[in-house]
Amino acid sequence: MRIFRHFEDLTPEVRGGAVAVGNFDGVHLGHRAVVGGAGAIARAGTPPAPWGVLTFEPHPRLFFKPDQPPFRLTPLRIKARHVEALGVDFMLVLHFDHALASLDADTFVTEVIVGALDARHVVAGHDFVFGRGRRGDGNLLLRMGGEAGFKVTRVPPVTGPDGAAYSSTRVRERLAAGDPRGAEALLGRPFEIEGRVEHGDARGREIGFPTANLPLGEYQRPALGVYAVRAGIDLGRDTLWRDGVANLGRRPTFDGHDTLLEAHLFDTREDLYGRHLRVRLIEYLRPERRFDGIDALKAQIAEDCARARAILDGLS
């Protein structure tokens, strides 16, 4: 999949196709219906047309409310990987800044959808809005599509077995409630925290449970506590998966303050410092808490490891 950061840079082979438009934070099952809808249209042609995704970084919500707590489900690198896995040909990532936020909806369609992409078909979710003051919506796309010669498909809400629509907000709510399985049901895959392993204070190694430490950065903060996890070690072309247990929190026994993900991988002796790691939250085991001493902490970690192994072995 090719990634473009400026609409002026598009090459001829990606113009004239079907394009899914949206923020797509999480690339959950509802988002996949929108992106997949564009793909079905693109692939129906003879020859197939280009299949693209148009999205925005940083998330517009962060631009308008920069002081809010971290909320991202899929930072750009991760979002791109999940979009690419769907088979998309290219992704256009527009920098959401003051200039883009100030662009009126009609001009956005004229310059980006028509001028740059020369889109033949635009697919968007039922609630997609865009342009200055959020004045652009599906009705405007339909009107301008009729004038400019492109078609528009508005995808209705995609609902799960419970009848509720898939949404990024619901994923965040499930994670905050300590329900990674609920988040997985909405995403269609386990929620992951991904990053480069940093040096910590080596306390885990000192007590017999070495950990790989990941900063949370812009990720949504799930409920603090201990999780059964599966961690993927980046090997370049491949990813080596290992079961484990992770503490997501502030390490109150050691008077920690920064929120950190510390993953202890079972049956792994590799030096992971500086390696890229993907940590999937599988099941919430317990809240984080302070222990009276190291021995009590070690006993609890051993119990956590046993529970995590049993849970993960049952999923194999």
- Does 149 lie in the same domain as 8? yes
Q: Which neighbouring-strand residues pair with 125?
A: 155
Residue 125 lies in a domain: yes
Residue 284 lies in a domain: yes
**Alpha helical stretches, state H, 177-248:** 180-187, 203-206
Q: Which neighbouring-strand residues pair with 130?
A: 136
- Does 128 lie in the same domain as 7? yes
CATH number at 267 reads 2.40.30.30
> What's the structural domain count of the chain?
2
- Does 12 lie in the same domain as 146? yes
SS3 state of residue 155: strand
Those residues with Cβ within 8 angstroms of residue 297's Cβ, 6 or more apart along the chain or in another chain: 207, 253, 291
- Does 212 lie in the same domain as 149? no
Residue 163 lies in a domain: no
How far apart are the C-alpha atoms of 174 and 56, rounded to whole Å? 24
- Does 136 lie in the same domain as 8? yes
Task: Give the full edge-to-edge strand order of the sheet including 276-286.
Answer: 191-196, 276-286, 225-234, 239-249, 260-265, 212-215
Instruction: Give the residue from 155, 181, 216 where a domain finishes.
Output: 155
Residues of the chain with pLDDT under 50: 253
- Does 295 lie in the same domain as 246? yes
pLDDT of residue 296: 86
DSSP state of 186: H
Buried b (16+ CB within 10 A) or exposed e, 252-289: ebeebeebbbbbbbeebeeebeeebbbbbbbbbbeebe
CB 191 within 8 A of CB 281: yes
Residue 160 lies in a domain: no
Structure tokens of 132?
Answer: 């200055």
- Does 205 lie in the same domain as 142? no
Global pTM value: 0.92
CB 285 within 8 A of CB 226: yes
Residue 249 lies in a domain: yes
- Does 120 lie in the same domain as 66? yes
- Does 60 lie in the same domain as 104? yes
CB 246 within 8 A of CB 227: yes
Q: Which residues are catalytic?
A: 262
* Domain residue limits at 101: 2-155
Residue 305 lies in a domain: yes
CB 122 within 8 A of CB 84: no
- Does 146 lie in the same domain as 193? no
pLDDT of residue 295: 85
How far apart are the C-alpha atoms of 197 and 239, rounded to whole Å? 15
Residue 103 lies in a domain: yes
pLDDT of residue 198: 87
pLDDT of residue 23: 96
Each residue's pLDDT tens digit, 126-177: 999 999 999 999 999 999 999 999 999 999 999 999 999 999 999 999 999 9
- Does 269 lie in the same domain as 142? no
Residue 55 lies in a domain: yes
Residues in the chain: 316
Task: Give the full edge-to-edge strand order of the sheet including 90-95.
Answer: 2-4, 90-95, 51-57, 18-21, 121-125, 151-155
Give me the helix-helix angle, 180-187 and 168-176, nearest 10°: 160
DSSP state of 138: H
Instruction: Give the residue from 129, 155, 181 where a domain finishes.
Output: 155
CATH number at 50 reads 3.40.50.620
CB 144 within 8 A of CB 106: yes
Q: How far is CA 83 from CA 15, 25, 52, 73, 294, in A?
A: 18, 11, 10, 14, 44
By CB neighbour count within 10 A (0-12 exposed, 13-18 middle, 19+ buried), where does 196 fall?
Answer: middle
SS3 state of residue 40: helix
Phi and psi for 4 in degrees, rounded to 5?
Answer: -115, 140
